[in-house]
Structure 1
């Protein structure tokens, strides 16, 4: 740290070089591959435009990775680093660098994000190199930018990073090598662990004390949805203390018997968060949910990366890294899944699991079970296993109870009495999807519940090819719109999708609609779709196999409940 006399001297020199007050600075500097520009800096960002002697020529040097505009304005919310670069060369021409108009001077570099012109959700690295003959000017500009960046709210300082070397195609370590410099430039400390086995990240996170955990601003998973799910369960299983999900009164009874089990009432939906019982403490340090500071980050390197696609809009490691270092935040619903019985005749031994994306039975469970035999094939094993399961065409007799919830609107002028968080409830189950897509600053996710909830259990039973429960849309490269195009990230609802037993041709038709952009996979008579905050499931077969975020979960009786916005991600939502 400079002493007071040094700071006074620097500020005096600053006034000699800049026009105006210290809160708004301007000077002539040179921008690499553009030329001399009028550079301005204030509390919101920086900007430049060509000096009077410069021609506004947008031609670029051969070989540059991105185009530098002759005039631009960049907000500090899009800047993640600034650094001095000592003495170096600046290309002063607005034309090709082969004009040999290079000059030697002192340099400083500003690092920022730049949205792709083709797709707004795709973010690129932008690097702007400036030069000046006076080293002190460069130093003072960099220090001023750093002081403004330090005032940006929510940016992480320290992160716990897990890298799964076996995720996807096995290139997670290479992916981390590509994005790690972004964290270094942003001065974010990273404690990196390369996992050595399944459950490694779960064990480390679940065994950490609250004091150890809150020394970090968040946890970053470099891998697929499976690694994220493992870390999520490691955190919640040891800290999230709440009651089991609500189930219908007869859920615990055997066929023909009356239930004597004590179960939560439907009114306890989301009570854990609202009543403050979702926290635990050790060493006098509390870790509550949702946490005001702690967030999860996910850098894609998996087989499908559905969570990343749903929360950032793209499957791109650079974009995800920029979301993290820039301190973006979005709430995410989490479903608490309870396995009550493994088989029809087993004892009731509830075990709790958590998911942020999807849990599926029937076709989905069979595919994940079959794919385990072909792990050596990598991600292609899912296509191979899916084809085998499709040809097998197995159906399962199940019973599902789902909680139909209405919200009493507090607006006396409103005639709509079945809104939850601003979206349609499960009343009117066969209505066509309105496709209100979840996006950045989503109004649905940001709308609070409107009054007291009224609820009742509804039931459906039959032979189904598949049962799916989606917390989010679950977009991926095989299903560009996801399982449910209008599913939201933080509305407190999950989507039950039940596909009744039908012919091979009809089921293929349904799957074809899932696989194409703009398809309507829910608009079939053999497909049932329910929006609900909780459901309960009973299989009438020997056992049930579920796919829980790519992991096998055997459950004959199962229930689930959604907790609205339980965790936060370093993400901004898709820029649709």
Structure 2
């Protein structure tokens, strides 16, 4: 044993050395790396690195969906950042043999001459697909040493470093929709649950029993109860996420209703203070509409699974903790198990449960715009009853509303129901008479947040060349621009006295408001290829009545990667922070994130970055 200043050596273990690249190493040891051979493993402030001393005659392999790295024939150093590691654990050979995965033992067989009497620890991380960088797969590095204390020391050191990673969740509330997609919700959660267990994340799992169950849990939960979690996950599709989103925001987002044109307001009549959003009032209305809208229903007894905090006399304790929005600590997350999963594709770049689970356990964070949609009248003859709903991806009328209405009849078909319903609706080629109003905004290529004091110029449509598009991606400059207003106040582009309302009236095949690009497997570039996740705008798409053949051409452009579905005379595209809608006919069904919403007269506005999501953005 030799002690020299701050350097301590004992056998093949050293601490506080300076490696070949000049970085101060906290720990360094000679260990055996499976499928590589003996290596010098070094722990630095930002991660692990190792250098092969010689290579074993082993090839790489893949088992149980976990890719073991191929042997390294050279002595080049290999690095692994702590930000990419989600777990480390000691491996007991007896535990492996008892695993409920029948091939587990075979996966961990290395070179038999070195495995004999060897203790092991495993470092869990991920690898990006070479052909699809957004697609992440599980990867594991298995290190060995005959001294168990050496392995335990490495596990403790790595865990200490992982505990310093900011933003990683420790406690999660998980909602599982058992009927999502084609009844795959429960199975998909069982597939990704081991990832959360390895990362030592506590999960409270609620398998929903009925429509609106998750909504009721979120609305009935107190702020103290929600603050005991680092995030809320939805194992399901876009509609299920919308249910949780509305349950979270309906009683917590306190903001004025969207600004509306003066004539729109006059048409509604003099209602008592209709521009004030009372979350408690909106919540109480949901109790009175159980049969008309199951999403907004509320049971008479508590099915949330929470134990409400009470005082000594049995009364409820009032919430004392404010939940400002966006809540930087409580994030929402999605494990895709639905029929389209557009939100997941737009925020992670892949429709893959493993990829989404890794984004969550690694604590990725991304802010999302959310549209506040206010229904003023349900039908042309109904009373004025403001009703608030929220949408994170899309709000659509006409063709979009008809497809979701028709598809509800064929839920047993799973994702294929949308193709079948879409074909039926397309063949009918129905158009609807309506009036749409929208706020004009100044034209800016970088889509940065607007200053209300600037002059506004009329933008009838945004038919830009492909070379002018700024696609939203990970670390997007447009989305990372900080807003200059609070999420509970109306954005300056809407509240500015210089903002003007423009109108479009006629017969429309569809009216759509895209809050994000809405990329999916049927529309690889989405409805609007250059829509951003957090820029404070939505993209209003007005598809006017046109011949059947032209509409088919428009739809085929949507379905083609690199297509230009907005480059038609019958298509209007307006980038705006707010819009209004009035149906002139009797029927008026909207599609909000895949959920039905009947509204004869409505208004909507976008709140920039209102919620935080476990995601990092697509790598496109």
Instruction: Report deviation, 1:87.
Output: 5.5
Task: Choose which of 589, 594, 597 in structure 2 pairs with 1:545.
Answer: 589
Corresponding residue of 1:412: none
Deviation sequence 1:262-296 (CA, Å, 0-9, x none): 6769xxxxxxxxxxxxxxx9431111101121100
Counterpart CA distance in 1 for 2:211 and 2:269 is: 41
Deviation sequence 1:316-343 (CA, Å, 0-9, x none): 0000000000000000000000111011
Residues 69 and 238 from structure 1, CA distance in 2 versus in 1: closer, same or farther, beyond 3 angstroms? Answer: farther
Residues 61 and 471 from structure 1, CA distance in 2 versus in 1: closer, same or farther, beyond 3 angstroms? Answer: closer
Q: Structure 1 unaligned runs (5+)?
A: 1-10, 90-95, 266-280, 408-415
Please tell me the root mean square deviation across aligned C-alpha atoms, in Å: 2.8
What number of residue pairs does the alignment pair up? Answer: 533
Instruction: Report deviation, 1:406.
Output: 3.7
Counterpart CA distance in 1 for 2:328 and 2:484 is: 23
Residues 335 and 61 from structure 1, CA distance in 2 versus in 1: closer, same or farther, beyond 3 angstroms? Answer: closer
Counterpart CA distance in 1 for 2:26 and 2:93 is: 26
Q: Indicate whether 1:421 and 2:457 are aligned.
A: no
Instruction: Report deviation, 1:381.
Output: 1.4
Please, what TM-score do these two structures have when normalized by structure 1?
0.87
Counterpart CA distance in 1 for 2:152 and 2:598 is: 61
Corresponding residue of 2:478: 444
Corresponding residue of 2:364: 328
Aligned pairs (5 A) from 1:362-373: 362-373=398-409
Please, what TM-score do these two structures have when normalized by structure 2?
0.81
Contact 2:37–2:55 (Cα < 8 Å) also in 1: no
Corresponding residue of 2:45: 43
Instruction: Report deviation, 1:56.
Output: 8.5
SS in 2 for 1:121: coil
Corresponding residue of 2:499: 455
Counterpart CA distance in 1 for 2:71 and 2:535 is: 40
Contact 1:472–1:487 (Cα < 8 Å) also in 2: yes
Deviation sequence 1:50-85 (CA, Å, 0-9, x none): 11xx14978435868443452521000000011111
Q: Indicate whether 1:521 and 2:565 are aligned.
A: yes
Corresponding residue of 1:19: 14
Residues 113 and 204 from structure 1, CA distance in 2 versus in 1: closer, same or farther, beyond 3 angstroms? Answer: same
Q: Indicate whether 1:211 and 2:218 are aligned.
A: no
Corresponding residue of 1:60: 60
Counterpart CA distance in 1 for 2:586 and 2:415 is: 30
Counterpart CA distance in 1 for 2:387 and 2:71 is: 57
Q: Indicate whether 1:565 and 2:613 are aligned.
A: no
Residues 13 and 136 from structure 1, CA distance in 2 versus in 1: closer, same or farther, beyond 3 angstroms? Answer: farther
Counterpart CA distance in 2 for 1:417 and 1:366 is: 34
Instruction: Report deviation, 1:97.
Output: 6.2
Q: Structure 2 unaligned runs (5+)?
A: 1-5, 18-24, 97-108, 277-316, 486-491
Task: Choose which of 156, 166, 184 in structure 2 pairs with 1:153.
Answer: 166
Residues 486 and 246 from structure 1, CA distance in 2 versus in 1: closer, same or farther, beyond 3 angstroms? Answer: same
Counterpart CA distance in 2 for 1:426 and 1:205 is: 41
The answer to which of 102-111 and 449-458 deviates more is 449-458
SS in 2 for 1:405: coil
Residues 44 and 510 from structure 1, CA distance in 2 versus in 1: closer, same or farther, beyond 3 angstroms? Answer: same
Counterpart CA distance in 2 for 1:333 and 1:553 is: 20
Contact 2:398–2:509 (Cα < 8 Å) also in 1: yes
Corresponding residue of 1:31: 33
Counterpart CA distance in 2 for 1:232 and 1:282 is: 22
Counterpart CA distance in 2 for 1:457 and 1:221 is: 37
Instruction: Report deviation, 1:427.
Output: 2.6
SS in 2 for 1:238: coil
Contact 2:394–2:592 (Cα < 8 Å) also in 1: yes
Contact 2:182–2:413 (Cα < 8 Å) also in 1: no
Contact 1:363–1:466 (Cα < 8 Å) also in 2: yes
Instruction: Report deviation, 1:419.
Output: 5.3
SS in 1 for 2:182: coil
Aligned pairs (5 A) from 1:80-479: 80-86=86-92, 102-254=115-267, 282-406=318-442, 420-421=448-449, 427=459, 429-432=461-464, 434-448=468-482, 453=493, 454-479=498-523
Deviation sequence 1:514-562 (CA, Å, 0-9, x none): 0010010001111000001100000110131111111111111011110
Q: Indicate whether 1:497 and 2:533 are aligned.
A: no
Deviation sequence 1:287-323 (CA, Å, 0-9, x none): 1101121100100000000000000000000000000
Counterpart CA distance in 2 for 1:185 and 1:338 is: 43
